[in-house]
A and B are shown apart, each in its own frame.
Chain A
Amino acid sequence: MGKRVAIVGTGQTKASSGRKDVNGQEMINEAVMKALAEAELTRDDIDAVIIGNMDHFEGINYVDTWSVDGSGGFMKPIMKVTTGGTTGTTVAMAAYYHVASGLFDKVLAIGWEKNSESDTTGAIITAFEPIVDRPTFGGAVGGLAVMANRYMHDWGATQEDAARVAVRDRQHALNNPNAHLRIDINIDDVMKSPMISWPIKYLDMCPRTDAACAVIFASEDYAEKICPKPAWVLGTTNRHNFTFIGDPSFRTMITLEECAKALYPRIGITEPLKQFDVMELYLPSSFAGVQWIEALGLCKNGGGPELIASGATNMGGECPINPSGGVLSSNPIGATGLLRVAEGALQIMGRADKRQVPGAKTALSSGFGGCYWSDLMAFSAKKPN
């Protein structure tokens, strides 16, 4: 095993529907400067940079090269990671691997997107097989809706069950000054919002957002010197499972289930609902918020609606999910996964301000991509053995 690794600083821009006052690298720079300031480090302290977004949203390739002024990557080892919606979490995984390898001590991870610069659905479908998938594919919203519809059919879940997640995450976002959508809504508002892709309504779905996020990973030789309460990485893993969009079964979120099965035994998790104090999950629709927690083992398959309705995942509940407001409140796609990582780490570091889960010692962050692939990263206040 390599070095133990912790997150020692994070920075994020205020998320919004459009940042016309900055171009990509200027927005990246805002997040980087905030992360460096929080960690009380300078650009010179950084040994390597990992950066990611999805090129097709802006139509500008190779962010690793053109962003070096803003990223701080000028004349440093830098590489780009792009894995679709999971980009931000995979950027975090790559930064973690860099530091864990012992080859780098302090690595800066950056995720960003300016979704305002193109049609999000039109861009997303360019990630799919062009001959037999793309001509009839309904994009990310359509894919999530097909999964949601099957879930309702299999388990008798209702649109109201999902609406509770839409309300939970938006209520949580009221505590997060960085969130894009800060809207005080109730179940009735969700149910009355326009149907965009049966059974997903407007308020069941994430927005499209401009924002950047930066996270600094440090080795055990530096972490406690930089940060009084570093967020130690307990473990991480990811899974992919399909070539064509008809291939995966929607019985559950299989890749997330496989991630959990691989990760939990390694880090001593047997009862995730009890053992994790907080979760920041990439839940792009309210229906995903009901179903995918089953794949994470928070309840049995089909038990999602009951667990959500119990309030266990609300602030003050047994395991609050998305104190930040989650993806339903901000979705700058290449940054979204890294925001889950940053927000999970902020909870451990005790720096989550109004959205802090008191005394949080363990956190789980997830990433979701494309249709139906998954990343997981777990954190602890205690240095791993």
Chain B
Amino acid sequence: MEDVKKKELLSVYSGEAEQPFEWSAGKYVSRFLVEMRDNKRLVGCKCPKCKKVLVPPRRVCGECFVQMDEIVTLSGEGSLYSFTVLNFGFVDPDTGIQRPVPYTCANIALDGTDCTWAHYLEETDPAKIKIGMRLRPVWEENRRGHLLDIKHFVPVEGK
């Protein structure tokens, strides 16, 4: 009879294969993405009860639990609410692509909205980024109805 002895400890690699998914955007997020793709425009939606404008648009205001039907066109400009510059990368599980570092994640308070919206900033030096600074989106030339139809946000000139 032989005991279980620690001779070698193995682990088994799963391989590189990924499981692709096909996510439904729904009416609200579809409208959001189509406006970005066709008109280089950001839209939100307004709650009929609390009157808050939320971006991205969604069917229900969670706080009031009522349906939202009014789409609001935004200027696309806004103020920086907060940010971080990330110096560590990871493999994006959706694309299999390593996030390039450094990169800057920002929460932006878009004009005319009552929440913030998360996207990239071009600038990656924290010393050059100020909370409250005015920002505008930089649009991709070839847009496909995707969050990254906006490349990133940059400071509004002269502000």
Contacts and interface: CB of A to CB of B under 8 A. Distances in A.
A135 B148 contact: yes
A245 interface: yes
A139 interface: yes
Given A138-B84, A142-B105, A119 B118 contact: no
Contacts, number: 116
B56 interface: yes
A247 B94 contact: no
Contact of B55 (A122, A146, A149, A246): A246
Interface string A108-143: 000000000101011101100011111111110110
A123 B91 CA distance: 9
Contact of B93 (A125, A136, A241, A243): A125
Contact of A132 (B9, B91, B120, B147): B147
A142 B86 contact: yes
B56 A150 contact: no
B107 A197 contact: no
Contact of B90 (A119, A245, A247): A119
A59 interface: yes
Nearest to B63: A241
Contacts of B131: 149-150, 153
Contact of A122 (B9, B81, B90): B90
B105 A131 contact: no
B79 interface: no
Interface residues of A, number: 44
A251 to B, nearest CB: 11
A20 B92 contact: no
Contacts of B81: 150
Contact of B87 (A122, A195, A246): A195
Q: How large is the interface on B (under 10, 10 to 19, 20 to 34, 35 or more residues)?
A: 35 or more
A250 B109 CA distance: 12
B23 A131 contact: yes
B106 to A, nearest CB: 8
A4 B82 CA distance: 45
B29 A131 contact: yes
A241 B103 CA distance: 27
Given A21-B6, A119-B90, A136 B118 contact: yes
Interface string B33-73: 10000000000000000000011101000100000000000
Given A132-B56, A145-B84, A250-B82, 10 more contacts: A123-B93, A132-B147, A135-B148, A137-B105, A141-B86, A145-B86, A243-B58, A244-B58, A246-B108, A247-B62
Interface of A: 20-21, 59, 117, 119, 121-123, 125-126, 130-139, 141-142, 145-150, 153, 194-200, 241-247, 250
Interface of B: 6, 9, 11, 14, 21, 23, 25, 29, 32-33, 54-56, 58, 62, 81-88, 90-94, 103, 105-108, 115-120, 126, 131, 146-148
17 contacts: A21-B6, A119-B90, A121-B90, A130-B21, A131-B23, A131-B25, A132-B29, A133-B118, A135-B92, A135-B147, A137-B105, A137-B118, A141-B88, A199-B126, A243-B62, A244-B115, A246-B107
